[in-house]
Amino acid sequence: MNEQQGLNYQRIAEAIEYIRDNFREQPSLEEVAAKVHVSPFHFQRLFSEWAGTTPKKFLQYISLEHARKLLTEQRATLFDTAFDTGLSGTGRLHDLFISLEGMTPAEYKNGGKNLSIHYSYAASPFGRLMVASTEKGICYMAFHEEDATAVSHLRHKFPNAVIYQREDLMQQNALSIFQHDWSKLPNIKLHLKGTPFQLKVWETLLKIPVGRLSTYGRIAAQVGNPNASRAVGTAIGSNPVAFLIPCHRVIQSTGHIGGYMWGSTRKSAMIGWESAKKMSDQ
């Protein structure tokens, strides 16, 4: 990501955060543009280029406060309204393109001994990230501001693996998820280090359709333990592969966005970006 792209992302992220925090005042285009220090015309164009839709429509996609207002109009439950705030499309991108394989018990216990891991850095609509892969698939993808911190986190997860910087085709395939044309996505494979319960939760997350949301309780029920919402939350918080495993699509049953390892503003941006992307495809 070049300097200008990074600045544009920061402006859009700041705008999303401002809209969310001040939703009840219904901020105008001019007001939001002023907060990110650009002209309304430039902000409208920049936002539309970044998200594929206008700021006004994007606000409708990401605002859970707007979802609450729909309760009285549609007489829906809070969860159902929040769930449908995105889009009602039934496409399951991750069912089609992403497969998950757990590491062997030996690989899990010995910290990746005998594994060779490549990593590289890349730009995305949501900031700079690191992506890492084994010969079997993507094992790590995360947003980081500092390269040294990213490498440190990767080595902490795989202390005994041989790790070196090199871009490969597997990483390129994974990063293609951020392109606007999803019609020709290659198959993306994940090779993950996790407990059986974590792997089960992460696999369930892959089944949440693009543009839709779920809750911790719903995920717990889907993995066969409806009373395990807290454990599910912990497993989701341990997700090692940002965006590809869509933990950003899980919200609280109250309709609140909830926490996110890489920041709630980035989570809101992802939800809105996917909703706008899905709408543009229909």
CA-closest candidate to residue 78, choices 64, 88, 66, 68:
68
Whether 247 is catalytic: yes
Quote the CA–CA distance of 256 and 78 in Å, as a whole number: 10
Q: Which residues pair with 165 in a beta bridge?
A: 119
CA-closest candidate to residue 241, choices 104, 128, 139:
139
Q: Is 90 helix (H, G, I), strand (E, B) or coil?
A: coil
End-to-end CA distance of the chain: 29
Burial level of 181, CB count in 10 A (0-12/13-18/19+)? exposed
Catalytic choice (93, 236, 247, 276):
247
CA-closest candidate to residue 198, choices 230, 225, 234:
234
Tokens of 5: 């792209």
Q: Which residues pair with 119 in a beta bridge?
A: 132, 165
Compute how many other C-beta atoms are within 10 angstroms of the C-beta atom of residue 11. 20
* Farthest-apart Cα atoms in the chain, separation: 58
Region for 172 from its dihedrals, namely left if φ exceeds 0, alpha if ψ lies in -120 to 50, beta otherwise: alpha
Region for 130 from its dihedrals, namely left if φ exceeds 0, alpha if ψ lies in -120 to 50, beta otherwise: beta
Q: Compute the residue count for the chain.
A: 282
Residues marked as catalytic: 247
